Amino acid sequence: MKKKNKENYRQLLIDKIEGLVEQREVTIGTIKTTYLLCGNGKPVIFLHGAGAGAVTWYPSINTISKNFQVVAPDIVGYGESDKPDAPYNRPYFSKWLKDFMKELKISKAHIVGLSQGGAIALQFAIENAEMVNKLVLVDSAGFGAKVSFWPLIGTIWMNSLPSSMANRFNSRYILHKPINRDPNHSSYSIAVLKYKGGKNAFKQGRGTAVSKISEELLKQIKNETLIIWGKDDKLFSVEYGEAAVKIIPNAKLHLIQDAGHLPLMDQPEIFNKILDDFLKSE
């Protein structure tokens, strides 16, 4: 039997997304960005967290693409996109997103950010409010959450010495039940980190992308905002989502029971309905 490689794991996750999913790439300056495209309608940009890449959204792309055009990039430094020497802080990621949207001729989009992707979405909304329609933040970084000891060890272990053992240890802190995640997602995450430049974002970013955003800046966000949080998140405690909804002017909070840091994997049907209803509502 042929041994699976990085591309095989990725393709198996793409195959799991029902519907016509195209994988495309675009080069802006010297940076190649790979992205998934699915559906038609108003654009929704999915920003994954620190980890595998766009395929993290495999449980949600099909549902949302029935009413919207889903654009899910591998954020620079992740997935199949380039992994240059770079600061990997929020302003860097925000500029990358702006360039990416301009290249695709997307003047305005709904932005959905997960974990570190949420922090990037926040930075982008603060800097480019006119390019953001609705904002969705899923177990988002940037609200000041401090990761406790064992989840922090799991994150460092996975990003420094990626292996199936590190992944098993780490999974218990990011999922309510690790069995809820497709094993190909775990395998792809490990393969990306082992690939050339795969650790650059973690090593060179030094956690700056997930650092706290001031209340003054959060108060500037006027976009209609939905904060979704897995109630059992062991990485970023739910209290940070509960605090953020009181700071961002036009925000509401939706908690998902029996879900951890990746509610889209722990409770995909519930998560997708909450997200789809919010994006469709006038």
Q: SS3 letters for the chain?
A: CCCCCHHHHHHHHHHHCCCCEEEEEEEECCEEEEEEEECCCCEEEEECCCCCCHHHHCCCHHHHHCCCEEEEECCCCCCCCCCCCCCCCHHHHHHHHHHHHHHCCCCCEEEEEECHHHHHHHHHHHHCHHHEEEEEEECCCCCCCCCCHHHHHHHHHHHHCCCHHHHHHHHHHHCCCHHHCCHHHHHHHHHHHHCCCCCHHHHHHCCHHHCCCCHHHHCCCCCCEEEEEECCCCCCCHHHHHHHHHHCCCEEEEEECCCCCCHHHHCHHHHHHHHHHHHHCC
**Quick one: which of 166, 167, 200 has its CA closest to 88?**
200
Q: Give the model's pLDDT for residue 242.
A: 98
Task: Give me the CATH number covering residue 259.
Answer: 3.40.50.1820
Q: Give the model's pLDDT for residue 1.
A: 40
Q: Give the model's pLDDT for residue 3.
A: 59
Domain count, the chain: 1
**164 inside domain:** yes
**243 inside domain:** yes
**1 inside domain:** no
Q: Which residues of the chain have pLDDT under 50?
A: 1-2
Q: Give the model's pLDDT for residue 30.
A: 94
Q: Give the model's pLDDT for residue 88.
A: 97
Domain containing residue 33: 6-280
Q: Give the model's pLDDT for residue 135.
A: 98
pTM: 0.97
Q: Give the model's pLDDT for residue 166.
A: 96
Q: Give the model's pLDDT for residue 91.
A: 98
**99 inside domain:** yes
